[in-house]
Each structure stands twice: as structure tokens, then as C-alpha cells.
Amino acid sequence: MPKDFLQGARDHYDCIVIGSGLAGLTAANTLARTGQSVLLLEQHYKLGGMATWFKRPGGHIFDISLHGFPVGMIKSCRRYWTQEIADSIVQLKNIRFDNPMFSLTTTFNREDFTRLLVEKFQVSAERVQAFFDTARGMNFYDDQSTTAGELFERFFPGREDIIRLLMEPITYANGSTLEDPAISYGIVFSNFMSKGVFTFEGGTDRLIHLMHEELLRSGVDVRIKCDVQRILVNRGRVAGVQVNGRTIGARAVISNANLKSTVLKMIGPEHFDRSFLDEAEAVRLNNSSCQVYMALRPGEMLDESLGDLLFSSTAPLFRTDLLLSRDVTSRTYSFYYPRTRPGSDRCLVVSSTNARYEDWAGLSDEAYEDSKRDLVESTLEALGRYIPDIRQKLDHAEASTPRTFRHYTRHLQGASFGTKFEGLAVSRALPEQIAGLYHAGSVGIIMSGWLGAMNYGVIVANDVDSWLMKSNRQTPLATAT
């Protein structure tokens, strides 16, 4: 008999959370701490969603999405997780750019960007300050018609090199383009590019392990290998979920799965207004990624002057559409030294590029394997520019593609960064369509990335807690028991 991953699970919870990405994990923990009973269901055998890692023979551990996050993670981890987790967050101080327009190293904070823009790019300090203040001052209520491209044109007319410096990292971090609203750029920029880039000491495996322990302490019922088939709705109210052949009831459900698959597949169009459905269908997904993972032989060291994060490109100009092309000219390298996992003797490199699902989806198995081999080869080739003897030092290399991301996270088209801007409004409007049903996960660029996903989990947990308290008062049955 197959193992029953729901053994001992109750028939009813206050809230069921579908998916254990950082938004789902944080929502589950926050709600359980307020005293609600919470069931967390994850289809994969590991928690974490895209905050994940994998191991290979020889003791290599690769992180998938641990390139860097903003300083705000420290506060959020302390508040919504534990002091121990917050204390493991450390700064990455060497962020490099290398492209035909400029080569430089920065600590990636406001002071250093100001210094570079004034000294290297010859912009006046007043202009730089005005740009930073404008980006920082942007919020949700601002007009959404101005694009990021227009914002740059206003402050740095004709300066493609400056656009590249200020935009390339954000494009890599969340797939946004010059055509996206300036406000989503502004909000991400002021979070991300004003106080440095940070990482988690001990790696993603340690983070997720610590989170798992904390979830159990908070009383969350955590279940892996539980693929939710349907979210059940009864007279406009959420009733529970169908999972692994069982029906489990809940007064509230939070889906951390992809927004579009939540609405269109797990619930089904018949439960929504036509206009809401139109909006949900029109939500654009963000692009996906390709990565190449390279592990050096035990004890082989990399020179730390390579930096922690390197935005490298051979394209003469910065064009967001070029970044998605399979004819790769731009790569972001994360260099991991033994200090990433204190006590280890390993150096690793992960190369990431943005990619389109369509370019990989249709390939035959054979063509797919060939393309992956090509990707590894061309990446080693490109990396040779920075580490000439990379092939001699190498112990293991392999690639992932949009198909890999799609397989492991069930995101439509393997989307790495959730949805475009319009996804946020659809995500927020879900409970107006079906009482007790919520979505928390990467949407709208602002709410994506490790920090965005975590904070969105908290925002939604607050809504759910509030709603559970209200609906408790309204149902006499619940108060009688």
C-alpha cells in the first residue's frame, strides 16, 4: 500500500494553506501563532517552493534562489520566524557589473550608487538624489501609466549606461522590463538597491529546516506529498479541499499555488463573476529562468575577488527582450565560497539567465537533452573569461530550464517570479468572490522574491485571522461548540 501522507490529519481546520513557498510557510506560521488550527499541504517532498536546494554525489549542495535579498528580511525573519533565523542573515559586499559599457564593483547601497553615478557616470549629486527620492517616494496610489523607461528618461535622458546599471539587477531579480509601471520598479528599487544585498548563512536547506521546526512549535500540521486537486466551494463560501483522495474541511483556504491555476483550475470558472474571470485570464505571467549549476572539486578554491554576484553581459546595449532570448548574451553568476555553509570546503557557481517557457516547451526529449548540454557548455565557455581554468577545477555541472521550474513548483509556464503587476489586484479580490478564499504568493513584482513573498504571506494571514474572527461570531454553530 502506498504511504498515507495524511495519516492522522483531522477532518477540519480553521485554515488550510496550499503550498509551502515562503508566502505559504509564513502565512501558516503567522496564523498558527494567533491560535488558529492550520493544515499546510505541499505537493513536493520538500518544503520551500522555489526557496530550494538540491544535493549531488560528492557532497555538493546547490541553492536555486539564494542569490540575494534585501535587508528587510532581517526584520521579517525576526518578527515572523525566529531570532536564530534573523541572526543568520549576512551581507554580500562585492556586487560586480561587467559589460561593454562599464565594469565596476559596488556594495549595492544608496551611498555607493550615488558615488558611482557622480564619479564614474558624471551625473550631478542633486540629480541622483532627486532620482532616489522619487523612486523611494513611490507607492501604490501613484499613477500607474508612467513606465520605468519614462522614469529613467526623465532623470537620465539618453543615458543607456545608467539605465543598465539601475535596471539590470532588477530585471534579473524579478523579470521586470522598461515597459512595466515605474511604481513597481520604484518600490522594488528602494527596497533592494538602497541598503545592500544579503544572504542566508548555512544555505537554503538550513533556512527551510529551521522554518519547519518553528512551524511545528507553532502547532501547524505540516504535510508533504499532498497535491491539492480542488478547492471546494459551497454557496459562495470556501468549504475545504480535495487532496490525496480525501476531503478536508476548512473555514478559510489560502492558496500559495500559482494565482491563475488557483482560479482557473483548482476552483473552476463557474464560481466567479465574468468580469473577475476576464481579469484573472488576462493576468500576464512573468518569465522563467535557466540555470547552470557548477561545483568545484572539494578543496578547490575560487578567488574572492570574483565577487559574490556578477552581472555579466557581452551585449553592447541593454535590452530586456534580449535577456530572454535563448541566444544568451547576459548571465548573472552567484559565486558561493565555503563561508556560505560554514565548515564546508566547497566553492560553487550558479549561472542564471531569464528565459521563455515557449522556447523549451516544444522540444523533443532528445532535443531537450541536447539543448541542456549546450547550455552547460556555453556557460562554461563564458565563465572561462573570469575563471580561466574552470574546466580543470570542475567536479559537476548540470542545467535547469523553464521545464524544470514548471515541474517542481507547478507554476504555469515555469514562471519564476509569479505574475505581472495586474496579478496583485486579482489576488486581493479573491475573497470578494468566494468568502474565506485567499491567495498569497508572488504577484505583481512587488510581492515577489523572498522578502515580498514572506511579507505578502503575513498580509494575507492578517486578513484571514480577521475574517475567521468575524465569521466565528456569525455562525452560531461554531460559537456553540
Ligand X SMILES: Cc1cc2nc3c(=O)[nH]c(=O)nc-3n(C[C@H](O)[C@H](O)[C@H](O)COP(=O)(O)OP(=O)(O)OC[C@H]3O[C@@H](n4cnc5c(N)ncnc54)[C@H](O)[C@@H]3O)c2cc1C
CA dihedral 405, 410, 412, 417 (to 10 degrees): -60
Q: What is the Cα–Cα distance from 215 to 27, expressed in whole angstroms?
A: 10
Q: DSSP assignment, residue 181? A: B
Beta carbon nearer to ligand X, 99 or 262? 262
Which partner from the list another protein, ligand X, none does 414 bind, CB cut-off 5 to 8 Å by kind? Answer: none
> Least CB distance from residue 455 to another protein, whole Å?
6
Residues that bind ligand X (CB under 6 A): 18-24, 41-44, 49-51, 64-69, 227-228, 256-257, 289, 291, 352, 405, 409-411, 416-418, 441-442, 448-450, 453
Beta carbon nearer to ligand X, 85 or 117? 85
Which partner from the list another protein, ligand X, none does 405 bind, CB cut-off 5 to 8 Å by kind? Answer: ligand X
Residues that bind another protein (CB under 8 A): 30, 33-35, 75-76, 79, 455, 458-459, 462, 465-466, 469-470
b/e map 149-170, b = 16+ CB within 10 Å: bebbeebbeebebbbbbbbbbb
Q: What is the Cα–Cα distance from 431 to 133, expressed in whole angstroms?
A: 35
Q: What is the Cα–Cα distance from 14 to 253, expressed in whole angstroms?
A: 9
Which partner from the list another protein, ligand X, none does 256 bind, CB cut-off 5 to 8 Å by kind? Answer: ligand X
**Are residues 360 and 370 in contact, defined by beta-carbon separation less than 8 angstroms?**
no
Q: What is the Cα–Cα distance from 446 to 189, expressed in whole angstroms?
A: 10
Beta carbon nearer to ligand X, 289 or 379? 289
Which partner from the list another protein, ligand X, none does 169 bind, CB cut-off 5 to 8 Å by kind? Answer: none
Beta carbon nearer to ligand X, 262 or 433? 262
Which partner from the list another protein, ligand X, none does 469 bind, CB cut-off 5 to 8 Å by kind? Answer: another protein
**Are residues 112 and 106 in contact, defined by beta-carbon separation less than 8 angstroms?**
yes
Nearest to 22 by CA among 321, 470, 418: 418
> Least CB distance from residue 414 to another protein, whole Å?
30
Which partner from the list ligand X, another protein, none does 227 bind, CB cut-off 5 to 8 Å by kind? Answer: ligand X
Beta carbon nearer to another protein, 30 or 255? 30
What are 142's three cell numbers? 501613484
The packing angle between helices 449-474 and 22-33, to 10°, is 40
The packing angle between helices 160-174 and 148-155, to 10°, is 150
Which partner from the list ligand X, another protein, none does 43 bind, CB cut-off 5 to 8 Å by kind? Answer: ligand X
Nearest to 283 by CA among 429, 424, 460, 448: 424
What are 49's three cell numbers? 517552493
Q: What is the Cα–Cα distance from 81 to 25, expressed in whole angstroms?
A: 10
**Are residues 28 and 1 in contact, defined by beta-carbon separation less than 8 angstroms?**
no
Q: What is the Cα–Cα distance from 41 to 6, expressed in whole angstroms?
A: 9
Beta carbon nearer to another protein, 367 or 469? 469
Beta carbon nearer to ligand X, 60 or 260? 260
Beta carbon nearer to ligand X, 36 or 332? 332
Which partner from the list another protein, ligand X, none does 394 bind, CB cut-off 5 to 8 Å by kind? Answer: none
